[in-house]
Structure 1
Amino acid sequence: MSKHTALVAGGTSGIGLATARKLRERGYDVHITGRGKEKLDDIAATDPGLTGHQADGGDAAAMTAVAESLGQVDVLVISLSGAEGAGPIAELDLDRLRRAFDAKFWAHLTTLQAVLPRLAPTGSVTLLTAISARTGMPGTTGLAAINGALEATVKPLAAELAPIRVNAVSPGVVDTAWWSSMPAEQREPYFAQLAAALPTRQVGTAEDVAEGVVFMATNPNVTGTVLETDGGARLISL
């Protein structure tokens, strides 16, 4: 019996890479995409069980070529993002916010549209959003707009594409490279402060969130759902 094929767009770091590894452990033939050749080369050395493809999720032709090379995709995980979009609204650079929409919202839809003709009829699509879509944290208006727009697509897509399943996973604060722009001497006390406030008393890891992604991607009885893996951030005021 041939293996099922999983494609993780944006699978070279953080939640995407953790998800790719867990799908591989589940026996999937796992392919990942990333923009940078250096990262893909590093992963080829550390994770020879993952097959890398250099492709930008916002490039329809590149993603179509990847999908066509796979023949059929059973599990599609879209874990694409950028580092822009945060900040107080009075100071928010709207050009940067537009780039942030390109890097996440439009890249998610571009990837989905490109891979859709190759998705198995019993396949699944799992989007990566963020808890900013449903919290009132100051300085996250741009991020809330991006992630809220993505989450708004989940139910109509699940109805439209059935029996293909469509879900999303919504992380809270996760200790990944997304925070690398914050110096370590600031990030560590900030994470400690957040951990003390969260009901779970911990900041999430990429592996924590990946467990949820794999569940949503592989459970045949879940569709049209956004799974919150936020440590309870939506329950408190941060």
Structure 2
Amino acid sequence: MSEHTALVVGGTSGIGLATARRLRALGATVHVVGRDKRRLDGVAATDPGLIGHRADGGHRDEIAAVLAAVGRIDWLIITLGGSDGLGPIADLDLDLLRRAFDAKFWAHLTTIQAALPHLAPTGSITLLGAISAHAGMPGTAGIAALNGAVEALIRPLAVELAPIRVNGVSPGLVDTPWWSGLPDDVRRSYFAQAARALPAQRIATADDIAEVTVVAATNPNLTGTVIETDGGARLVSMG
């Protein structure tokens, strides 16, 4: 696959980095975009085969400059995330939720718009949502709306941008830096409890989700689809 070029926006940690590594292992030329210089330096040290770029997906000029440097793209994967927007609706900080939409939803749109002139006609766009868009977990209305907005882009864009393919991946609980705000012992206890409730009886790794993301990006017959890779969380009560 050496003739293919991938751009992973949000590719310096977690699911994004795991996806970039898998695409590189397939032989693609892989560029990763991140805002944090420390993380980019870390990727350069551990994964010299990945080409790093410092930019914010929500800033049109920054992401456009990256795209101009990269040139043609076959696979655009956007894994921008954030934990803002959690909490009971009565106490939800709406200013914080607006910033979360800026950081994820609006950044998705900014990146997609900037990337369109660079996408190969047989290329693809893959977006990362989350189970919160589908589940009914208390305290997640804000972040559910955020991920639901991202996933709502997929079907109309799959038709509008055809033959460019557009897909999404909707993970459940994944052991990534997203949980770094919790003390280690609290996180381990919660994961152990959650794993017992899940039909898959385990918490996903970033690489589990990356494997599915690569399929969504590269399979030529897949478009307009959100792949739920949540260990069965949507089937049981996780509230």
TM-score range, shorter chain: over 0.9
* SS of residue paired to 2:220: coil
The residue that corresponds to 1:47 in the other structure is: 47
Verify: 1:200 aligned to 2:200, yes or no: yes
1: CA distance, partners of 2:113 / 2:183: 37
Q: Distance in 2 between matches of 1:88 and 1:237?
A: 18
Per-residue CA distance 1:150-189 (angstroms, 9 max, x = gap): 1111000000000000000000010000011111121111
Q: Which residue of 2 aligns with 1:166?
A: 166
1:191 aligns with 2:191: yes
Question: Which residue identity lines up with residue 120 of structure 1 in the other structure?
Answer: A
% of aligned pairs identical? 67
- 1:68 offset after TM fit, Å? 1.1
Match of 1:175 in 2: 175
Name the residue aligned to 1:27.
27
Q: What is the CA deviation profile of residues 189-216 of structure 1, one whole-angstrom value per residue up to 9, with x for unaligned ones?
A: 1000000000000011100000000000
Equivalent AA in structure 1 for residue 51 of structure 2: T
CA distance in 2, matches of 1:191, 1:28: 34
Match in the other structure for 1:120 = 120
2:2·2:28 contact (CA, 8 Å) conserved in 1?
no
Q: Secondary structure at the match of 1:31?
A: strand
Deviations 1:108-160 (A, max 9, x none): 11111111110000000000000100000111101110011111110000000
* Contact 2:77/2:127, CA 8 A, preserved across alignment: yes
CA distance in 1, matches of 2:83, 2:227: 23
Partner of 2:18: 18
Matched, 1:80 2:80: yes
CA RMSD of aligned residues (A): 0.9
CA distance in 2, matches of 1:147, 1:18: 21
**CA distance in structure 1 between the aligned counterparts of 2:76 and 2:183, rounded to whole angstroms:** 34
Q: Which residue of structure 1 lines up, in the alignment, with residue 231 of structure 2?
A: 231
Asked whether the equivalents of residues 77 and 125 of structure 2 are also in contact (C-alpha less than 8 Å), the reply is yes
SS of alignment partner, residue 204 of structure 2: coil
- 1:217 alignment partner in structure 2: 217
TM-score in terms of structure 2 length:
0.98
Residues 33-89 of structure 1: CA deviation (Å, up to 9, x unaligned): 000111111110110000000000101111111111111000000000123111111
Kindly indicate whether the alpha-carbon contact (under 8 Å) linking 2:172 and 2:233 is maintained by their aligned counterparts in 1.
Answer: yes
Q: How many residues align?
A: 238
Gaps of 5+ in 1: none
The aligned counterpart of 2:156 is 156
Q: Which AA in structure 2 matches 1:55?
A: A
Deviation, 1:2, is 5.6
